Homo-oligomer: A and B are copies of this chain.
Amino acid sequence: MSIKKIPESTISRLFVYLRELSELSKLNIRTISSSELGERVNLNDAQVRKDLGYFGQFGISGSGYDINELKAALEKILGKDKTWNVAVIGAGHLGSALITYPGFQQHGLNVVTAFDADVKKIGKRFGGITIQPAGELPKAVKEKKIAIGIIAVPAKDAQEVANSLVKSGVECILNFAPTVLSVPENVKVNNVDLSRALETFSYFLVNPALSGRVNKAVSGKK
């Protein structure tokens, strides 16, 4: 294990491998080679090996990787064996949908608290979570050990919320507001623009001639 930089795309692919390994594990398959795994997720075999190589040596020459072993290793690397507390800020339509979104639980993410600046929203309940006044955020982050903040407020308020989260010590922000947040270097922001998912519909369908000029997506991701 060298001290080389790890591409973020490698991390994305690790999640893809993990998902595939989980499937394989259910089917009671014991081992898999990098080329078989690569084929299943549309990637080069060398890519698979190189990605894993950033984190150690998991394979056996001549026979490949033990599926359950590799799965466990990836879960550890990716933090899938842990759970995290999440706060949702903004209890409008989107925010309240996120509070009760069942998918988070499956990924070890527990929404433990939610906030809104609007007095009319405070006290409302969504699936066991009661909306708190926005001013309570810093205290709650510390008391409830919030690791991730989800911003679901209008774009114009997003930066202010981000500042508050950062000041309270949150280092991971998922931003649903369609705006660019500026945060310190140590804070990681993921932007989700729900309309982004529809963008490919408009760009690629409207410009079929140009789409041939666009480099294909590489990993399972975006």
Contact = CB atoms under 8 A, between A and B. Distances in A.
A190 B180 contact: no
Interface string A19-35: 11001000000000000
Interface stretch (A56-64, A128-136, A205-213): A205-213
A119 interface: no
Q: How many copies does the complex hold?
A: 2
Given A217-B8, A222-B221, A77 B19 contact: no
A82 B206 contact: yes
Contact of A190 (B198, B211, B214): B198
A171 B208 CA distance: 10
B198 A107 contact: yes
A199 interface: yes
A214 B12 CA distance: 11
Describe A's contact surface by its main secondary structure: mixed
A107 B199 contact: yes
A215 B200 CA distance: 24
Contact of A101 (B190, B191, B195, B217): B195
Contacts of A195: 101, 103-104, 106-107, 109
B11 A182 contact: no
A177 B53 CA distance: 28
A172 B221 contact: no
18 contacts: A3-B213, A5-B215, A6-B214, A7-B214, A7-B215, A8-B200, A15-B200, A41-B180, A42-B180, A79-B202, A84-B205, A93-B126, A94-B101, A101-B194, A104-B194, A188-B204, A190-B201, A221-B222
